[in-house]
C-alpha cells in the first residue's frame, strides 16, 4: 500500500527541514537533533502523565559513569522494572528526547521505567553502548530495594539502534546468567549490521532513513567493520537464539530496516522463542514517534504497552 496520508504529510515536512550541511560534525548533528525534538516532540509524540517520582541516577560503568533516568508509577507496592534504550544510530539521542515516551510506558504499563543514557559513538565505539546498557541493568537490579521497584519482573525495549541494544542485552543476560528478563520489545530493530536484508535496498531513500545515513552511523558505531557479524553487534548472527525472552517486534513497510525485524522474528521463532510481530502498513522508520498525529501509530503504541503490561503483571 502507499504511505498513510498523514505519514506522507509528515515525511514531506521533515524532508523539507534544514538539517544543516552534510559535512556537519557529530556534535552539530546532535544539537540539531535535540533542537528538532524540542520544537517538534510535543507536537508529534503523546506524553504520559507525570510519574509519582522521577530522578536521574549516576550509574557506574567500565571507565566512568552514565545517567539513568528513573520513572516510578503511582501506586503503593513496588512495580516491575522496564529498561528503555533510545534510538539515534548509536550516535544521537538524549534522555529528554524520549521523556514523553517513557512517561507513557510507565503509566500505561504501571511499571518503573529506567531510561539509559548510554555513551555514544564515535567517541565511544562498540562494544561500549551494549556494555553500558547491560551494566545499568545489573546495577538497577542490585539497587532495586532502595530504588523502589520489583527486580524479579523485568522488561526491556528500544527503538532502531536502541532495539539493537535491547536485543543484545537479552543475549548478554542469557550468556552471563542474568538478570532474568521477561519481555523484549523491539521497535524497528537494526539486527543485521551487514545491511544485507532485502529492504535495505528495495525501500527507496526519502522515507526518513536513507542508506547513506545508515552506513555512516554503522561506521561510527563499529569503527572496525570486520566486527559487524559479532552477535553483540548483530544479534541476527548469534549461533543460538534459544532461551531468550519472549519478543514483541514491530517493523514498518517503508523502512529500510523492515526486513531486519521480520528476519529476527523468524529466527527467534525457529529457536523456540515466543514472538509477536507485525509490520505497520504505510508507515516509516520513526512512526513510533508520531503518536499525537497518527491514530494508527497511537493504536500501535497502546497495543505494545498492553503486551508489556501483560508480560510484567502476569
Cα angle: 40, vertex 159, 241; to 5 degrees: 175
Contact yes or no for 166/93 (Cβ under 8 A) = no
Q: In what order do the strands lie in the sheet with 149-159?
A: 53-61, 64-72, 112-117, 79-85, 149-159, 183-187, 247-254, 275-284
Q: Which grid coordinates are listed for 3?
A: 504511505
* Rounded distance between C-alpha atoms, residue 105 and residue 274, angstroms: 22
Catalytic machinery residues: 160, 255, 285
The torsion defined by the Cα of 245, 249, 255 and 257, in degrees rounded to 10, comes to: 20
- Alpha carbon of 107 to those of 103, 121, 166: distances in Å? 6, 31, 21
Contact yes or no for 161/231 (Cβ under 8 A) = no
Amino acid at each position: 500500500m502507499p504511505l498513510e496520508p498523514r505519514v506522507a504529510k509528515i515525511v514531506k515536512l521533515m524532508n523539507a527541514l534544514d538539517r544543516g550541511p552534510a559535512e556537519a560534525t557529530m556534535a552539530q548533528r546532535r544539537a540539531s537533533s535535540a533542537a528538532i525534538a524540542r520544537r517538534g516532540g510535543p507536537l508529534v509524540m503523546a506524553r504520559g502523565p507525570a510519574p509519582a517520582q522521577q530522578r536521574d541516577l549516576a550509574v557506574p560503568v567500565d571507565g566512568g559513569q552514565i545517567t539513568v533516568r528513573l520513572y516510578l508509577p503511582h501506586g503503593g507496592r513496588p512495580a516491575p522494572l522496564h529498561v528503555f534504550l533510545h534510538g539515534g544510530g548509536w550516535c544521537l539521542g538524549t534522555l529528554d528526547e524520549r521523556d514523553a515516551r517513557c512517561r507513557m510506558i510507565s503509566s500505561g504499563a504501571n511499571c518503573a521505567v529506567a531510561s539509559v543514557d548510554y555513551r555514544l559513538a564515535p567517541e565511544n565505539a562498540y562494544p561500549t553502548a551494549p556494555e553500558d546498557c547491560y551494566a545499568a541493568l545489573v546495577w538497577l537490579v542490585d539497587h532495586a530495594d532502595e530504588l523502589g521497584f520489583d527486580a524479579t519482573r523485568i522488561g526491556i525495549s528500544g527503538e532502531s539502534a536502541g532495539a539493537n541494544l535491547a536485543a543484545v542485552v537479552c543475549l548478554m543476560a542469557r550468556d552471563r546468567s542474568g538478570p532474568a528478563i521477561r519481555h523484549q520489545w523491539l521497535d524497528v530493530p537494526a539486527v543485521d549490521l551487514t545491511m544485507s536484508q532485502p529492504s535495505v535496498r528495495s525501500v527507496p531513500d526519502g522515507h526518513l532513513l536513507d542508506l547513506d545515513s545508515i552506513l555512516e552511523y554503522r561506521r561510527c558505531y563499529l569503527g572496525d567493520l570486520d566486527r559487524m557479524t559479532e552477535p553483540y553487534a548483530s544479534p541476527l548472527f548469534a549461533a543460538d537464539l534459544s532461551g531468550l525472552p519472549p519478543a514483541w517486534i514491530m517493523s514498518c513497510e517503508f523502512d529500510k530496516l523492515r526486513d531486519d525485524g521480520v528476519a529476527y522474528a523468524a529466527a527467534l521463532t525457529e529457536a523456540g522463542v515466543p514472538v509477536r510481530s507485525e509490520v505497520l502498513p504505510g508507515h516509516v522508520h520513526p512512526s513510533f514517534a508520531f503518536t499525537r498525529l497518527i491514530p494508527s501509530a497511537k493504536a500501535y503504541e497502546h497495543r505494545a504497552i498492553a503486551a508489556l503490561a501483560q508480560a510484567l503483571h502476569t
